[in-house]
Each structure stands twice: as C-alpha cells, then as structure tokens.
A and B are shown apart, each in its own frame.
Chain A
Amino acid sequence: MSRLFAVALGVLTAIGGFVDIGDLVTNAQVGARFGFSLVWATAIGVVGICVFAEMSGRVAAVSGRATFDLVRERLGPRVGMLNLVSSMLITFLTFVAEIGGVALALQLVASVHLLLIVPLVGLLVWLLLWRARFSAIENVLGLLGLALVVFAVALWQLAPDWSSVAHQAVTLDKPADEDWRTFAYYAVALFGAAMTPYEVFFFSSGGVEEGWTTEDIATMRANVLVGFPLGGLLSVAIVGCSWLVLGPLEIGVDSLGQVALPVAAALGKVGLAVAIVGFVAATFGAACETGLSVGYSVGQYFGAQWGKYVRAREAAVFHVVLLLATLAATAFLMTQVDPILVTEVSVVFSAAALPLTYFPILVVANDPDYMGEHVNGRLANALGTFFLLVIAVAATAAIPLMIWTRMGQ
C-alpha cells in the first residue's frame, strides 16, 4: 500500500512539477500564434526528458552520484568548468524567471506593484530552501501545481472541433500569416522549455537526497514515464486554450494574465482563481527547484557537501550559494527587467546548452564499471542516441534562430 502511495504521490508531483514559467509562457505564446501545429515539438521534448530523466535517475539510484558529478568525471575539470559556468548562468536565469513568475501570479490577485512583491517572494523562497524539508517542498508545491489541470477542463469546456485539432497537429499546419523561421524558432523554444537541464540536475540530486537504491528504480520509472507525459498534456492544454480564445482575437501573449485569460473565458472567476493557485504553486515549486539546482551543480563540481538531507550547518557552502543566488535573482528582478523576457531568453539558451548536460549522462549510463547490470538497454540507447542528435541540431540552431527571427517577432 505504501508503495502504491509512493508511486501515486510521485506521479502527481511529477505532473504538477512539470510545468514551470517557461512552459506556461512559451506554450501560451505558441498556442496563440501557431495553434496545435507545434504540438510535435512538445511531444519530442517530453519523450526526450523522459529518456534522460530515467537515465540520470537510474545512475543516481545505482551509484549515488548525481548529474553534475558525472559531468565533472567524464568531461574533466576544464570542460566541466565551462559547463558549470554556462549551466549556472542558464539555471540562474530560469531561477530569476520563476521568482518573477511567482510575483506576476501574485500580482494578478494583489494588484500592487511588482517591485513590492518581488523581495517578499525572494525571502519566502530562501526561507523554504533553508528551513523546509526536501519532501515538503517537492510534495506540497507539486500537488498544488495540479491546479493547472484547470486548463484541461477549460479546453474541454471550450469544445474545440477535435478532428480539426488532430489534423492541425499531424499535418504541422501552421497559420498562413506565420513564416517557417518563426515556426522553427518556437519549435526550438518549446523543445528547450521541455528539456531544461535543471530538470535532470534536480531530478537526479533529488534521488540522492531521498536515498534511492536499486529497489527504487521501478518507482522512479513509473514517476517519469507516467508523470512527465501527463505534465506534457497539461502543456498541450495550455496551447489549446490559448489557440481557441486568444488566436481569433489576434492577442499575442506578453503577460501572465493573458496566459490565464482563456480559463477565465471558459470557466469564469472560479476557474481563474484555480489557475492562479496553479501558477503560484508551479512557479514557486520551480523556483525552489532551480535555486537548489544552482547549489547542487556548484556542490557537485567542487565536491563540497550539498543537499538538504544534512543539516544546514553541515552543508555550509551549499547554503551560502543558495543565499547568494536568491539575493542576486531578487536584485536582478528589482532592476524592473521583464520576467517574461527573461523566461523567453532562458528557454532558448537552455536549448543551446543541452548537449553539455545530456552527453555525459548517456556515456555513464552505459558504463558497466559504474552501473553493473543496470546499464542502458537497447531501447534506452536507441532513444538516447536519437535524442543526442536532435539535441545537437536544436543547440546549433537555437542562437542563430533567435537572432535571425529577432526572438520570434
């Protein structure tokens, strides 16, 4: 019974924790402009994150080593350092975007100026990172994030013509007023949003935090293979709502309020309230995850004690990094930078940095010295190789496309 409970809890938190500010904004933007014609990019991204999260989780369960340990071991100190700097910058940008996202979500309710909310959110995030138990952060915020299911309900209420939806998704039928460059740009952005590297940093380090052993591999797989795809369906529901309500009105998404607008149109005030709860929980959860990921990667590169499974005093460097990262992120947001813009930039840079993270995972997951009998099977390797190639293409294309399309203008 407790095992079933563990699986159910893991799946639910994976669904609630899958969507973050990057997914919310990118999916709503894409929905409003391209409808269902880019669903394939989300689908590929979801399968990709499943493949590599499962690998990194398995490595963590068998060897007790999290993802950045593998990066340092297989790429060496030099390339590892380059990787550390770039991953930290990207994860930090995502962290900024998530804190900004919490503040934007709270602003929808409170209607006070953003700069009054940001410091409060920063303080709350830091307090959670410092004091709260790891499982509390993951479970409570993950479960609350399930409120985003309201997008699926809204989509059902909006009653689209499902056969034309399927037709648009399968034939990649983009609206005539959009060109292929922006189409490609948003495909890369969706892929980057789904495969953000912090997700595997957090997932594998979380496995170490919770003391996974080989016995937990089955539970871990269930969480990944059921939870992430269902989270991906939530992303698609956001796309759909956005397409049906914002598309005909020619509204482009540049605020969090516009992301929630279709829910309000379909379900009224109650729906809007539930959506905002979902926004706050999802972005707050992701803020904690990205903040922790910054600390994890520094700890795992230098070998200093990290993790919330030891007392804060035992992992002093880790907690200093968390504090500095939160302070810096809050300070960055206080410059009145637009959190939506930071989000857009962070998902594209994520796409550009993907190979640095995912290549070492694939190599170590195949190393029998490391994994014993739990090395990758044929399916994992076939998918891993395929995604390595997809990742390489997306990474190469990301920055040129960003410049060429002027960020999808």
Chain B
Amino acid sequence: MSDPETGEERLENRLEATIDGALHLLDRQLLDREGRMLGKVDDVELTQRGDDLVITGVLTGPAALAQRLGGRLGGAMTRTWGQLRVSEPDRTRPWRIDVEDIDRLDSALHLAVRREGVLRRDRDALRLGTLTGMDVLGPDGTRIGRVLDARFQADHHGRLVLVSLIVGHGRPGSLLGYDRRGDIGPRLVRVVVRRLHRHTVIAGAADAEISWEARTVRLRSVPDRRPDHALR
C-alpha cells in the first residue's frame, strides 16, 4: 500500500479494519511521529460508554506490564513497584496515552505526536489485559472457557468498539492468529494450533455480561459461531 501523500510504501493501517485486541494491539511497539520508540503497548484502556465498551487509550510502563504478568507474580511485582517509592502518588497506576494521540496501527502503533511528555497518569480504567483470560460462563452457569481475545471494530464515530469475544481453552494469545484465516502456514503449526483450539467459539458483545469484580463473563445464550479456521 502506498501513502497517497508521500508515495512511500506503507503497511495497511489496521485501525480501519476489525482488530483482535490481544493479537494486533497488545505488546506492539509504540513509535512517536518521528519514528522514535517510547515503549510497548503493555495494556489497553477500555471505557464503558452507554452499551458499548470502547478503546480509549493504551497503557504503558512497569505498572501496566506487572499486571499483565498476571497471577501471584504480577501482584507481587505491582506491590513492589509501588513500594519502591511510597511518597509518589498513584505510582501503581499505569501511564496512559489517549486514543486521540494515536495515528495508525501496522506492525507498530504510531502516535500522531512527539514522544516528549505524551504519557499521562490522569485516570485508572478497565483494562483489556483483565478481560482476556476471564472465565466465560454459559446461561446455565457452566464454564465454557476463557476469553482468548476481544474483537473491536470502528463505528461511525471512529471509535473502536468491542463487537465480540473469542472464547476457548488455553491462554490468551495462544491462537497466534491462526483463527483469522484458514491458509496461514506452515501446515504443521496450523494443524496443531487448530487441534488445540477446536472448541473455540465467538460470542457477540451484546450477548456478554462482563463482571469486572468477579472477573467472569456470563453469556446470555450459548454461542454457536465458530472462527474462520473451524469452518474449513
């Protein structure tokens, strides 16, 4: 794809398409408008706007990363990070970059601004890293699996809104992108990943009741949509 202004070759901007939060956004490199690096997308900030769960920023830095490590290790690291300087307010609150400052997403997340002073610590909100990995329960309370990934789509305001959850067994990110289309090689890896994830289903966001305190998602109906790979 060529840039209409400069004519130079650019990768496709994924923010205009459907993105899988864990696969396309989490752990990507952050670059400022001059191409300088300033961190990783250690987590993604979500905000409830009416009925929609919307991406409102990306989180970066040790406080966000420690939570992503998860479990006892993540908790201990977050506490330790806070204790390193108790006089500093909100130290365990991660640095955030507002979605307004984001330009485009390809193999990295490009900001529309310079990296100097772009980080803010003005709010603490819901995180994608908490949503992925949540237990998913069916209407009757039986466990279906875990949230492996969350799919977002741009609405007519240009906001990235949660449209569906990928639910299955294993760890978030372990689909490695093999659920999105059926022809990704090499064959051996594809066969193994699909075999491991043969029970994966897609649940619509409207169907899902997310309980952030209990860290569970309850579905109002049993999902029957399968990802692309299961259809072939």
Using CB atoms and an 8 Å cutoff, list the residues of chain A in contact with chain B: 62-65, 69, 72-78, 80-81, 213-214, 299-306, 310, 314, 362-363, 366-370, 372, 375-376, 381-382, 384-385, 388
Classify the interface of chain A: helix, strand, loop or mixed. helix
CB of B120 to closest CB in A, whole Å: 17
Interface residues of B in 173-211 (CB under 8 A from A): 173, 176-177, 180-181, 184-189
Q: Enumerate chain B residues within 8 angstroms of A299, measured Cβ to Cβ.
A: 37
The answer to whether A372 and B11 touch across the interface, beta carbons within 8 angstroms, is yes
Cα A75 to Cα B171 in complex, Å, equals 10
CB of B97 to closest CB in A, whole Å: 12
The answer to whether A305 and B69 touch across the interface, beta carbons within 8 angstroms, is no
Decide yes or no: A302 and B107 within 8 Å by CB, A74-B173, A76-B27 being known contacts: no
Q: Enumerate chain B residues within 8 angstroms of A366, measured Cβ to Cβ.
A: 184-186, 189
CB < 8 Å: which of A73, A301, A310, A384 contacts B28? A73
The answer to whether B39 and A303 touch across the interface, beta carbons within 8 angstroms, is yes
The answer to whether A69 and B184 touch across the interface, beta carbons within 8 angstroms, is no
Query: Could you write out 18 A-B pairs with CB less than 8 Å apart?
Result: A65-B29, A73-B27, A74-B173, A76-B171, A76-B173, A78-B69, A300-B29, A301-B40, A302-B40, A303-B30, A304-B37, A363-B176, A367-B184, A369-B12, A369-B14, A369-B177, A376-B185, A385-B188
Given contacts A65-B108, A80-B27, A303-B39, 12 further A-B contacts (CB under 8 A): A63-B106, A64-B108, A69-B29, A72-B27, A76-B68, A299-B37, A363-B176, A366-B184, A366-B185, A370-B107, A375-B185, A388-B188
CB of B232 to closest CB in A, whole Å: 16
Cα A401 to Cα B134 in complex, Å, equals 41
**Top 6 A-B residue pairs of the complex, sorted by shortest distance between their CB atoms:** A303-B40, A63-B107, A381-B186, A303-B39, A305-B37, A76-B173
CB < 8 Å: which of A75, A77, A376 contacts B42? A77
Task: Indicate whether B65 reaches chain A with its CB closer than 8 angstroms.
Answer: yes
Q: Enumerate chain B residues within 8 angstroms of A369, measured Cβ to Cβ.
A: 12, 14, 24, 177, 180
Task: Indicate whether B60 reaches chain A with its CB closer than 8 angstroms.
Answer: yes
* Most A-side CB within 10 Å, residue of B28, B69, B176: B176
Q: Which residue of B lies closest to A375 (CB)?
A: B185
Q: Enumerate chain A residues within 8 angstroms of B186, measured Cβ to Cβ.
A: 362, 366, 376, 381-382, 384-385
Cα A72 to Cα B65 in complex, Å, equals 12
Task: Indicate whether B122 reaches chain A with its CB closer than 8 angstroms.
Answer: no
CB of B9 to closest CB in A, whole Å: 7
Q: Mark B85-129, 1 if CB is under 8 A from A, else 0.
A: 000000000000000000000111000000000000000000000
Q: Mark B54-72, 1 if CB is under 8 A from A, else 0.
A: 0000001000010011100
Q: Which residue of A lies closest to B66 (CB)?
A: A77
Cα A241 to Cα B48 in complex, Å, equals 71
Q: Enumerate chain A residues within 8 angstroms of B181, measured Cβ to Cβ.
A: 368
CB of A353 to closest CB in B, whole Å: 19
Q: Which residue of B lies closest to A299 (CB)?
A: B37
Q: Mark B33-45, 1 if CB is under 8 A from A, else 0.
A: 0001111101000
Task: Indicate whether B172 reaches chain A with its CB closer than 8 angstroms.
Answer: yes
Q: Enumerate chain B residues within 8 angstroms of A72, measured Cβ to Cβ.
A: 27, 40
Q: Enumerate chain A residues within 8 angstroms of B70, measured Cβ to Cβ.
A: 78
The answer to whether A77 and B68 touch across the interface, beta carbons within 8 angstroms, is yes
Q: Enumerate chain A residues within 8 angstroms of B184, measured Cβ to Cβ.
A: 366-368
CB < 8 Å: which of B38, B172, B180, B188 contacts A303? B38
